[in-house]
Amino acid sequence: MSELFELSRTRLLTILEDALLLTQIEVEGSRFAPKAIPLAALLRSAMARVASFAKASHVILSSVPDSQAYVLGQEELLVKALGTLLETAVKFSSPGETVRLCCQPLGVMARLVIFAKGRIIPAEAIARFFEVFSIAKPITPGGDLGLGPPVAQRIIALFGGSVSVENQDPPGIRLQVELKKSEFDFAAGLEAATAESATSPVSSYS
């Protein structure tokens, strides 16, 4: 009984904290000044945040994908958003499956794709997946989603990014996150390309 009470208490506190954060983003979004953060470091922190939950769910987290990208945001908020999306992927995974991550360069954006294998989102819920209180009942054995997905979506959008979800076949889900690269990262890429061009041999024609 005490364990059930503690679980209910923790869930309620999480919902209250998420609701407060949603309000802050809506009312005071401009005060969250973005900084340049290495994407790989964000992913390591996010995976550490969800590691215990994944282990308890008998789901494996893949290794952190290699990325040299720097993205814009506040570290604590982006770790929360990415950790929430990883936890969501765990909830849609069958025991013994692996939540896979991959990073893809995309011009001024950095794309992160999270794959979960096991369960899908009900058709009537997928279009409203990131709406506040759109899913009123648990849709996975891993527990209800609470305000997690909407909070993650609002955080990512706050810093110029986006997140989407779709069902997969074989059953599973695919979460796609796009984060805005920092000017530092983009400038470094241009500098590297210029340096490579300068050291490349020049062909001559007679």
Q: Are strands 172-180 and 162-168 parallel, antiparallel or unpaired?
A: antiparallel
Q: Could you tell me the domains of the chain?
A: 33-189 (3.30.565.10)
Comparing 148 with 188, the larger pLDDT belongs to: 148
Query: Chain-wide mean pLDDT for the chain?
Result: 82
pLDDT of residue 42: 95
Question: DSSP string of 107-136?
Answer: TTEEEEEEEEEB----HHHHTTTTSTT---
**pLDDT tens digit string along 54-79?**
999 999 999 998 888 999 999 999 99
Q: State pTM to two decimals.
A: 0.80
> Two tokens at 16?
């209250």
pLDDT of 26: 79
Task: Give pLDDT, residue 142.
Answer: 56
Beta carbons of 82 and 114 less than 8 angstroms apart:
no
Local structure of 96: helix, strand or coil: coil
Burial class (CB in 10 A: 0-12, 13-18, 19+), 28: exposed
